């Protein structure tokens, strides 16, 4: 008796979910396109701890990681000085910061707490340590880090070190321009075919049937490898 009502309700829920997903995808693409046009490094920071997480900055100031990329993980990195950068959420419009206790959060206005040292490690990953805060007794730096569940770790924790995977981030920038990185290499045989040859005396064309299974020469697409995935 109520079967048609359930069908209508299910159709409405399915339509709403499809529209929501499409909105998120369009917002994500728009943020990446705006970052590419502004000239800033725009993309994501992928932490290899656990199953792997993308660093996220929420509009309410929370900082965590998500396994699946989203509009919250689209970040803008900009240079402050040599080796010092700021990190801003493209969607939340908030800056990543670390307070004097080593806690990660996001703020609306850029301060000294938002400055981080960006260093390239031997593992081909980057680390980000606070410029303002560290252990004053030992001089140990406090790093941006995520735990195995994707939660932000305290930079002041003794377990947060530059050698640990929780502090290793792989920058993934310029995702919109990825199609422009490839280049074509022409086969030598095809190049020789395109080279004009001296005119030869005309002769009647031989009556030979073309081979249908002859392999055609095509250009090959090569993709260079970059450190920033």
d(CA 25, CA 175): 14
CB atoms within 10 A of CB 195: 6
pLDDT in tens, 84-127: 999 999 999 999 999 999 999 999 999 999 999 999 988 889 99
**78: alpha, beta or left? (left if phi > 0; alpha if psi -120 to 50):** beta
The pLDDT value recorded for residue 134 is 95
Nearest Cα neighbor of 103 from 53, 158, 153, 49 is: 153
pLDDT in tens, 42-100: 999 999 999 999 999 999 999 999 999 999 999 999 999 999 999 999 999 999 999 99
How many helices (H) and strands (E) would you count in the chain? 2, 13
The pLDDT value recorded for residue 114 is 97
pTM equals 0.64
Residue 182 has pLDDT above 50, yes or no: no
Q: Which residue has the higher pLDDT, 56 or 228?
A: 56
Percent of the chain with pLDDT over 90: 54
């Amino acid at each position: 008796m109520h079967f048609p009502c359930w069908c209508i309700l299910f159709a409405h829920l399915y339509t709403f979910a499809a529209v929501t997903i499409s909105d998120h995808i369009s917002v994500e693409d728009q943020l990446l396109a705006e970052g590419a046009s502004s000239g800033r490094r725009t993309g994501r920071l992928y932490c290899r701890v656990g199953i792997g997480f993308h660093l996220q900055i929420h509009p309410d100031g929370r900082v965590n990681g998500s396994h699946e990329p989203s509009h919250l993980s689209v970040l803008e990195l900009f240079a402050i000085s040599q080796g010092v950068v700021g990190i801003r959420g493209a969607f939340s419009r908030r800056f990543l910061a670390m307070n004097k206790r080593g806690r990660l959060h996001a703020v609306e206005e850029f301060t000294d707490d938002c400055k981080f040292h960006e260093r390239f490690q031997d593992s081909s990953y980057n680390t980000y340590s606070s410029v303002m805060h560290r252990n004053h007794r030992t001089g140990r730096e406090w790093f941006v880090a995520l735990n195995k569940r994707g939660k932000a770790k305290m930079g002041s924790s003794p377990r947060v070190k530059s050698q640990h995977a929780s502090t290793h981030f792989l920058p993934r920038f310029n995702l919109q321009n990825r199609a422009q990185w490839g280049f074509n290499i022409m086969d030598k045989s095809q190049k020789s075919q395109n080279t004009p040859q001296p005119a030869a005396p005309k002769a009647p064309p031989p009556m030979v049937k073309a081979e249908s299974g002859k392999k055609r020469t095509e250009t090959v697409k090569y993709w260079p490898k970059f450190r920033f995935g």
